[in-house]
A = this chain, B = another copy of it.
Amino acid sequence: MVSLKTIAEKCGVSTATVSKALNNQKDISEETKSRIKKTAEALGYFPNAAARALKTNRSYNIGVLFEEEAGSGLTHEYFSGVLNGLKVQAEKQGYDITFINTCFENRKMSYYEHCRYRNFEGVAIVCADFNDPDVMELMNGTIPVVTIDYVHHNCTAVCSNNIQGMEDLVKYIYGQGHRKIAYIHGQKASYVTKDRLASFYRTMDELGLAVPDEYIRTADYLETKGAEIQTRELLNLKNPPTCIIYPDDTSLIGGRNVIIEMGLRIPKDISIAGYDGTRMSQLLHPRLTTIRQDTELIGGEAAKRLISSIERPRTTLIERVVIEGILVQGQSVGRINC
């Protein structure tokens, strides 16, 4: 290992001088500075992160919580997109990303304990069960935390604008001439669902459209079964909708399967719209009409805010950042005459 000492000996100065030279302190002459910097470069010197962290209490390391019961959270396009955005931005600002977990040698440790152990300077909670006491301990701790799509009183939150997104989607569908619009929403427990559902009702209201109770249904996110059942029921109604909005692009696939099986054509006989803007949604024929959530931006913004609250804790507010979704006009919502 080439350390400060190595450079100091080569240059005939003390390690203190080397340290100060490399950190651009002003009490070292320009001449010595450049001499030291040159030898450091030549020797391929890099500071030892552990030593520096120990002394300065700064690790330049951010913990990311990414946990799901199924253990497969990482493979969901939305979450992995956010993670990627976070990674790119954090790295750009000189921070590294480490996953938070609960294993410590043979015994368990809490998320919070893990963060202290590793000296994480900030934490991003991308995917977790927010009711877990361990997660709450983390949010209530003294380490800056940013949450994704979840609002907690003392954490900065970055959320996709589900209210605006749903409004845009409904208004676009309305603009295509549809008046009978059904909405299969996801699990009611989540913030995301609440926002979208409220926005759906409000927008329909604003447009002066009635929402029959039988047009509002539930199906799970990221699964097809529920959507299949609900789609079949919707299409068998005496007065079926002309357009169905699904919980997300994945569950939409289930509805799409049923529609095709029933011999109906999209969008001629029935229109459908999703939510998420997954890669897959733009590969299918016809391309789906959906709201693309800008996961890159969500993650990036989360990283920026988090780092800001690390580096400038005084001037950084705890706030709720909202990222706009983008309407993707596929071909799955057709034009009809009303």
Binding site for B on A (CB under 8 A): 1, 44, 46-51, 53-54, 59, 61, 71-75, 77, 80-81, 83-84, 87-88, 91-94, 96-99, 101-105, 109, 113, 116-119, 224, 250, 253-254, 257, 260-261, 279-280, 283-285, 295
Contacts and interface: CB of A to CB of B under 8 A. Distances in A.
A301 to B, nearest CB: 16
Contact of A254 (B47, B51, B73, B283): B283
Given A75-B77, A75-B81, A81-B75, A49 B99 contact: no
Contacts of A261: 285
A105 B94 contact: yes
Given A51-B54, A119-B48, A250 B75 contact: no
Contacts of A75: 77, 80-81, 84, 279, 295
- What copy number does this chain have within its complex? 2
A119 B284 contact: no
Given A96-B101, A104-B94, A118-B96, A253 B283 contact: yes
A260 B285 contact: yes
A207 B44 CA distance: 58
Given A61-B98, A77-B77, A96-B98, 19 more contacts: A46-B104, A46-B109, A46-B113, A48-B54, A49-B50, A49-B117, A50-B53, A50-B59, A74-B87, A75-B81, A87-B99, A91-B101, A91-B103, A94-B103, A94-B104, A98-B98, A250-B280, A257-B283, A280-B280
